[in-house]
Structure 1
Amino acid sequence: MSAREFSKVSPAVWRSGRFHRLQGPVTPKLVYFYFVTNTHVNSAGCYALPDLYACADLGCEAEAYTIARDALLAGEMIDFDPATSEILVERWFRHNPPMNPNHHKGTSRLVSEIESDRLREKAEAALTEAWQAYQIRKEEDETRRQLEVAQKEAARSQRGYGTLQPVGASGHLLNTRLMKGVG
């Protein structure tokens, strides 16, 4: 397993002449790669994608594209609503969760704009789950941070640090005979 959790892939790959010159069949694996990297994808993982746009990007016939898309649908890698031509990448938020409140807000707006009721409800449920997991992680991180601060403070007080002392004084100097007033 790779140490990295993800790698960036630019949507510009679908406009690359070198990439388009590659020959070979349109496989479900290639179409899945397209669904998660194309220029239509957004932070909601659900977007409108007319078949002919996909065929133009993939350089394939509509029949080959439909066969590959249907294989991904059967394999539960995507969901698709033919009435709205919207693709939903399954488990999108497991790999692309909102990273902060503003990201969550923007993604929520995109989810609310999904035309397909079925896909919108699915995306809303997945986003809610991902956001709750984010909030739990943040609370755990804050609790862990507070515990570390408390442990450091306890260790400092045991060593005699952290108590009020005259500037330039150390615990050792305060315990000398001169400072104690012994003659």
Structure 2
Amino acid sequence: MRDYGKVYTAFWTSEDIRSMSEDGRMLALYLMTCPHGNMLGCFRLPNAYAAEDMKWDSERVSKGFNELFEKGFAYRCEKTSWMVIRRYLKWNQFENPNVGKAAAKLFDSLSAPSLVKSLLAKALREFCGFFPTGKLDEFESLAEPFENPFETNAESVTTTSTPTLAQPEPKTHVEQKPLDLSVQTVEIPEADPVETIFAFWQKVMSSPRSALDSNRKRLITNALKSYSAADICKAIRGCSKSPYNMGQNQQKTKYNGLDLILRNAEKIDRFIQLDSNQAVSQDESLEERNARLIREVMAGEGEGSGVIIEMEP
């Protein structure tokens, strides 16, 4: 348990904080200073802990976390209660190499889910010069589940420049084919697509308290046998664009569960088509939207990796 937490006076004057509700501001301040935090700004915080400390009920805490997620202040895995404050390490950088070594030991001990730990790794690489970056090599920045996280993810990045590589002496007499160095492919590890797709469904359907149980895992896993993760996310988003499925029907009931969206190929195809038909709103063209998102990325001082630029379907 830490003794104190650092908060800059600019906390109260920043546009991001001022745009929050009173509960959002108080919860953000609590996260920066709460006794459950640590030097990395990544820790496990069940609703009950926050509710007890702040004397709020559980529903009020959940609404507060949802607002901080939507504002980009923090990301929290509702299943495990692990969270990361996105810019905590910008405000609390390590003062010397010894602090960096202590942080590395703490980083190794965290049992946070892959998406949370990858977001933390991104912040460490960006803001903490004294942290041993070799520990971060297995992590890459992951698209955040605000929009379809697979639309701009690629399994590899290709560059046309010719790298300078040292050629080791062959250890055997086996004939070796010459290397084609005109193209270098760098493989990028991905997060568990099942967890990321489920987090995307939670966000789009405003269902943060839903659990990734065995049935939902089975539905997503089966869908991945025939569809890409990106297409599954498009189907989820397509369902969210259907007034009928979102509750505007005689029964006043939402039909937006994964058991419906991923029931069969016909359902998935229908919702993908619905998403494609409504990809661009009438009030904002695709070009206008992308230009706005780019401005938001530039204004976010490195925090905009969670903004996904949509391409034509």
Q: 1:26 offset after TM fit, Å?
A: 6.8
- SS class of match (2:129): helix
| CA distance in 2: counterparts of 1:40 and 1:98, whole angstroms | 19
List aligned pairs for 1:1-183, cutoff 5 A: 6=8, 27-112=23-108, 113-132=110-129
- Give the residue type in structure 1 aligned to 2:48: L
Match for residue 169 of structure 1? Answer: none
**How many residues in Structure 1 have an aligned counterpart in Structure 2?**
114
> Percentage identity across aligned positions?
22
| CA distance in 1: counterparts of 2:104 and 2:121, whole angstroms | 8
- SS class of match (1:87): strand
Q: 1:99 offset after TM fit, Å?
A: 1.0
Q: Give per-residue Cα distances to partners, 1:148-174, cap 9 Å, x unaligned.
A: xxxxxxxxxxxxxxxxxxxxxxxxxxx
**TM-score w.r.t. length of structure 2:** 0.34
Q: Give per-residue Cα distances to partners, 1:45-104, cap 9 Å, x unaligned.
A: 000011101100010110011001100000000110112201211111110011111111
Is residue 94–residue 130 contact of structure 2 (8 Å, CA) maintained in 1?
A: no
Q: Give per-residue Cα distances to partners, 1:1-30, cap 9 Å, x unaligned.
A: xxxx837xxxxxxxxxxxxxxxxx970111
Is residue 49–residue 86 contact of structure 1 (8 Å, CA) maintained in 2?
A: yes
| CA distance in 2: counterparts of 1:6 and 1:32, whole angstroms | 13
Unpaired stretches in structure 1, ≥5 consecutive residues = 8-24, 135-183
Larger radius of gyration: 1
- SS class of match (1:27): helix
Is residue 96–residue 130 contact of structure 2 (8 Å, CA) maintained in 1?
A: no
- SS class of match (1:122): helix
| CA distance in 2: counterparts of 1:49 and 1:102, whole angstroms | 27
Match for residue 21 of structure 1? Answer: none
Q: 1:125 offset after TM fit, Å?
A: 1.9
Q: Which moved more, 1:58-67 or 1:123-132?
A: 123-132
**TM-score w.r.t. length of structure 1:** 0.57
Match for residue 142 of structure 2? Answer: none
Segments of 4+ in structure 1 off by > 6 A? none
Unpaired stretches in structure 2, ≥5 consecutive residues = 1-6, 10-20, 132-313
Is residue 93–residue 130 contact of structure 1 (8 Å, CA) maintained in 2?
A: yes
- Give the residue type in structure 2 aligned to 1:35: L
Q: Aligned Cα RMSD in Å?
A: 2.4
Q: 1:109 offset after TM fit, Å?
A: 2.1
Structure with the bigger percentage of helix: 1
Is residue 26–residue 58 contact of structure 1 (8 Å, CA) maintained in 2?
A: no
